[in-house]
Amino acid sequence: PSAEMITLMWSFIVSIYSIGGLLGSSSAGYLSVRFGRKQAMLFSNIPALLGAALMGLSRLCGSFEMIVAGRLFSGVCGGKLAFLPVYAGEISPKKLRGFINVTSKVFLALGKTVARILGLRELLGSQSLWPMLMASCGLPALVQLVALPFFPESPPYLLMHKGDQEGCKKAIRQLWGEGQHQAEIDDIMKEKATMKNTKILSVLELVKEPAFRWQLYMIVILTATIQLCGINAV
């Protein structure tokens, strides 16, 4: 193929990940409520493993289309990362909740750093090993797929969305040990009562709501300008 066609193919491979991320994040809220935090996280491993397999076998099959499809599936999984901080925050004790929520961002940054190091030509970024590099994204998904079934469902989800008070207590004891956890359960019940009187806005309604206009401006500006701070170069 010509140089222009190679550039077009490469650009499409790079950008298709963001399209997958948009698809994944758009369905994250529905799936986390419909199936629960734990089940939704388990489901998110399917596109990750499928994407890793497609990209890892692309050279053997001589198909760049497999890389495009693999990147799309990987993006879908990346868009569903919203499950992780929600689940981690809900299963952690109140005194550790802020710390646990921050760790997800730390490990996300650490994962990007490790990926960039592995992508060096001296490691897995060579002409012979790049399929292994692209397939390596399936390893964390495989670990989560094996380990996550041993974790309980989120106690707030069981109580607030399923009305399963016994299941909530059992999950709390499994996570935090035996002891008096009635105060935490009461807090969840208060939150449930508050949510009954709170309207959940869609994205379009959120954009149209004047009360949130300045908050939206700040978020958009911060998200846009963070791309210019040099962190990607670092």
pLDDT tens for each residue of 180-208: 777 777 777 777 777 777 777 777 888 88
pTM exceeds 0.85 = no
| Predicted pLDDT of residue 51 | 92
Q: Is 141 exposed, middle or buried (0-12, 13-18, 19+ CB in 10 A)?
A: buried
Share of the chain above pLDDT 70, in %: 98
| 144 and 73 within one domain | yes
Angle, CA 179 vertex, CA 174 and CA 180 arms, to 5°: 115
| 144 and 48 within one domain | yes
| Predicted pLDDT of residue 233 | 62
Confirm whether 84 is domain-assigned: yes
| 145 and 48 within one domain | yes
Q: What is the pLDDT of residues 22-61, one digit of tens each?
A: 888 888 878 888 888 888 888 888 999 999 999 999 999 9
| Predicted pLDDT of residue 53 | 93
Compute the mean pLDDT over every residue in the chain, rounded to the nearest whole number.
Answer: 84
The residue with tokens 């990209």 is 55
Domain count, the chain: 2
Residue 224: count other Cβ atoms within 10 Å of its Cβ: 9
- Average pLDDT on 6-34 reads 87
Out of 67-71, 91-95, 156-160, 227-231, give the one with best mean pLDDT: 67-71
> Closest Cα partner for 75 from 40, 48, 115?
48
Taking the CA atoms of residue 132, residue 137, residue 143 and residue 144 in that order, the dihedral angle to the nearest 10 degrees is: -160
| 144 and 227 within one domain | no
| 137 and 42 within one domain | yes
Domain region containing 46: 1-88+128-150
Angle, CA 10 vertex, CA 136 and CA 126 arms, to 5°: 45
Name which of 50-54, 118-122, 125-129, 159-163 the model is least confident about: 159-163
Confirm whether 217 is domain-assigned: yes
Confirm whether 58 is domain-assigned: yes
| Predicted pLDDT of residue 137 | 87
Confidence of residue 89 (pLDDT cuts 50, 70, 90): confident
Confirm whether 165 is domain-assigned: no
Q: In this structure, what token pair is assigned to residue 77?
A: 């999984």
Confirm whether 42 is domain-assigned: yes
Confirm whether 173 is domain-assigned: no
Confirm whether 113 is domain-assigned: no
Confirm whether 146 is domain-assigned: yes
Query: Are 74 and 190 in contact, with CB atoms under 8 Å apart?
Result: no
Share of the chain above pLDDT 90, in %: 15
| Predicted pLDDT of residue 163 | 78
